[in-house]
Amino acid sequence: MSRILIAEDEERISSFVDKGLRAAGYTTTVVAHGGEALELALSGSFDLVLLDVGLPGIDGFEVLRRVRAQTSTLPVIMLTARALVSDTVAGLDGGANDYIPKPFKFDELLARVRLRIRDAVAVAPASLSRGAVTLDLRTRRATVGDRTVDLSAREFALAEEFLQHPDQVLSREQLLSRVWGLDFDPGSNVVDVYVRYLRAKFGSDSIETVRGMGYRLR
């Protein structure tokens, strides 16, 4: 069963969408604040996000930007009352999969939700593997050989970044912006700390330090 996050602060709209999606067999969660939307979108618990542009706290475009800094596979459909071309372009440039101007008919929304979930299932790999390490992208579980390894959400995101770019040297700045987004300043040593955590779990030679450049998965 697909799980949909509805981030919309107009109760009238969120309850109408919520009821319709539940009736169509989806599991839904409704949030009305940008910060909550971001946290839940990054939790790995949802298959699709309906994201209002005008949210209190962090607006929809910023939520989208931060979500895309961490995952390229989660389908996001933007909802907005401002049916302006510039918004559409900003939303699609920011990595939205689709865009629905308000007001909309529920059937139209449902058709697009079905399409995006189907596309995501067809396109997204279920797992990433390199050497002995396998990441199950659906359950967010990691294994080394036949041993299950416990990873925090951030460790998993970092490991995913390495496995998506095997043989490439990834700089601290790249890893910081893709995995941590705006949460840390560029001088932070958090990347080095987390690379150490991953080495401890995947094997000390799993990630190579390329002096002056960054890190590479071996």
Rule CB under 5 A: which residues touch Ca ion?
Answer: 9, 52, 54
Q: Which is nearer to Ca ion, 60 or 214 (CB)?
A: 60
Q: What's phi and psi for 110, nearest 5 deg? A: -60, -40
| H/E stretch holding 63 | helix 60-68
Q: Which is nearer to Ca ion, 101 or 203 (CB)?
A: 101
Distance of CA 35 to the CA centre of its chain: 14
Closest approach of Cβ 24 to Ca ion, in Å?
A: 23
Q: Which is nearer to Ca ion, 63 or 191 (CB)?
A: 63
Q: Which is nearer to Ca ion, 7 or 159 (CB)?
A: 7
Closest approach of Cβ 88 to Ca ion, in Å?
A: 16
- Coil vs helix vs strand at 50: strand
Closest approach of Cβ 16 to Ca ion, in Å?
A: 14
Question: What is the C-alpha to C-alpha distance for residues 15 and 28, in angstroms, rounded to an integer?
Answer: 11
Q: Which is nearer to Ca ion, 18 or 52 (CB)?
A: 52
Closest approach of Cβ 40 to Ca ion, in Å?
A: 17
Closest approach of Cβ 9 to Ca ion, in Å?
A: 5
Other beta carbons within 10 angstroms of residue 176's beta carbon come to 20
| H/E stretch holding 147 | strand 147-149
- Tell me the residue number closest to Ca ion, measured at CB: 54
Question: What is the C-alpha to C-alpha distance for residues 75 and 73, in angstroms, rounded to an integer?
Answer: 6
Could you tell me which of 39, 17, 42, 43 has the C-alpha nearest to residue 28?
17
Other beta carbons within 10 angstroms of residue 12's beta carbon come to 8
Closest approach of Cβ 78 to Ca ion, in Å?
A: 11
Question: What is the C-alpha to C-alpha distance for residues 182 and 70, in angstroms, rounded to an integer?
Answer: 11
Other beta carbons within 10 angstroms of residue 153's beta carbon come to 12
Q: Which is nearer to Ca ion, 54 or 101 (CB)?
A: 54
